[in-house]
Structure 1
C-alpha cells in the first residue's frame, strides 16, 4: 500500500505566485504519483479582505502596497508571467486589470470540497486562477465565477444558490482565522502532513525533495 501525503495549500486566487506554486506542485505530484498518494486540500487566505466592490486598478494597488514604481511593477509582472507559463498558466499578456476581493471564490471552493470531492475542488481552483489571471475579467461579476464553475464540470445552479445565500461564510472565516492565527501571513503556504511547512512558489524539484523526505520518514 502506498503512503499518503496530506497537503494543505493555503492560498488566494488573487496571488499570482499561488498559481505558479500550484503548477509546480502538480508537476512534482505527477513525478511521484507511482510511489505515493496525495490528498490536496485548498485552504482560504485573503490578500485583500477589505477590498471594496469594484476592486482597485492593479498597477495602482501594487505600487501603493509595495512602494514600487509602475515600471518596477510591470517588470515584476513580466517575470511572473514567464514563471507562470513554465508552471502551466498562460497569464493575460497585459496582466490583470484590477484587484478584487476573493471571498466568494473561497466560499465556492469550500462548497465543492464539502459537496463534491478534492479532485473537483482542484478543478475549480485551477479555473478560478484562470479567470483571475489568464482571462483577467471582473471577479465581482458573479457570472464570471459561475463560468469557472461550469468549466470545472460543477453545478452552476447550486453555485448560484451558495453565492446568493452567503453559504459557508462562517466556515471560510473560521479556516482563515485558524491559519492566520497559526502565523501564516504570506501565500502560498504549503503544509505537509499537518506539520511540515513550505512557503512561496517552490520549484518542482523542491517539492519532490520535500515529498521524498516525508516518504522516507513514513
Structure 2
C-alpha cells in the first residue's frame, strides 16, 4: 500500500489515554512500516469546567468516585505505560484539570496553517509532561510560538474567538456520530476503534487494512 492510512482521532488534550493511544499507533506505524495520516478532532471531557480548573485528584474522585489510592495507582500505571512508549507523564500533587475549549480553538487555528498535528502533540506535552495550564492564554500563545507559529496571530485568534463556532460544529458532528468517550479512532473513514488498544493491536489493524488495500 503506497498511500498512508488515514486515521481520524477524536480526543482531548487532557486525556492521558489519548496520548497513550496515539503513541501506540505511531509505534505500530513505525514498526510495520505502514504510513499513517492523522487528523485530530475536538472532544471536551469537561466542557463545564470553570476557568479556575480543579485539582486532578479531587476531579477524578468527584467524577469517577475513585479513592485516593485508586487514583494514585492509575497515575502510576499511566506513567509506566508512557515510559514504555516514549511519552513522558509527570503527574504532580497540585496538578489541575482545565477547560480545553481554548486549546481546541488553537489546534483548529493551527490546522489552517497545516500544523494541527504539531500543535496537538505540543499541547499534550505541555499538559502532561510540563504540567502547564492549557486554558491559559499566555501558555497557549507560548506553545504556538514554540512550534514556530506567529505568537501575535495565535493570540489574536484566541482573543477574537474566531475558531469557536467551527470547533463547536466539529464537536457536534462527532457526538452526533455516537462518540461519547476518547480516544476514538476512525481508520479510513469507516472502521471505529475506541480506547488505547496497544501497539500490537494497532499493528494488526494497520496490516489488515494495508492487505485489504493491496
Q: TM-score of the superposition, structure 2-length normalised? A: 0.94
Q: Which residue of 2 aligns with 1:106?
A: 104
Aligned-partner Cα distance in 2 for 1:146–1:66 = 32
Offset, 1:93: 4.4
In 2 relative to 1, CA 96–16 (structure 1 residues): closer, same or farther, beyond 3 Å?
farther
Look up the SS of the partner of 1:185 in the other structure.
Answer: coil
Structure 1 contact 28–207 (Cα < 8 Å) conserved: yes
Q: Which residue of 2 aligns with 1:161?
A: 156
Aligned-partner Cα distance in 2 for 1:95–1:204 = 30
- The total of aligned residue pairs comes to 213
Q: Say if 2:31 is the partner of 1:31.
A: yes
Aligned-partner Cα distance in 2 for 1:53–1:200 = 28
Structure 2 contact 101–135 (Cα < 8 Å) conserved: no
Structure 1 contact 55–99 (Cα < 8 Å) conserved: yes
Aligned-partner Cα distance in 2 for 1:4–1:153 = 26
Q: Say if 2:187 is the partner of 1:192.
A: yes
Q: Which residue of 2 aligns with 1:8?
A: 8
Offset, 1:95: 5.8
Q: Which residue of 1 aligns with 2:95?
A: 97
Alignment gaps of 5+ in structure 2: none
Deviations 1:93-124 (A, max 9, x none): 4266110010111111111112x22xx22211
Q: TM-score of the superposition, structure 1-length normalised? A: 0.92
Aligned-partner Cα distance in 2 for 1:83–1:126 = 17
Q: Say if 2:133 is the partner of 1:133.
A: no
CA RMSD after TM alignment: 1.5
Question: Which runs of structure 1 show a deviation greater than 3 angstroms over 4 or more consecutive aligned residues?
Answer: none
Q: Say if 2:178 is the partner of 1:215.
A: no
In 2 relative to 1, CA 175–45 (structure 1 residues): closer, same or farther, beyond 3 Å?
same
Aligned-partner Cα distance in 2 for 1:162–1:85 = 35
Look up the SS of the partner of 1:9 in the other structure.
Answer: strand
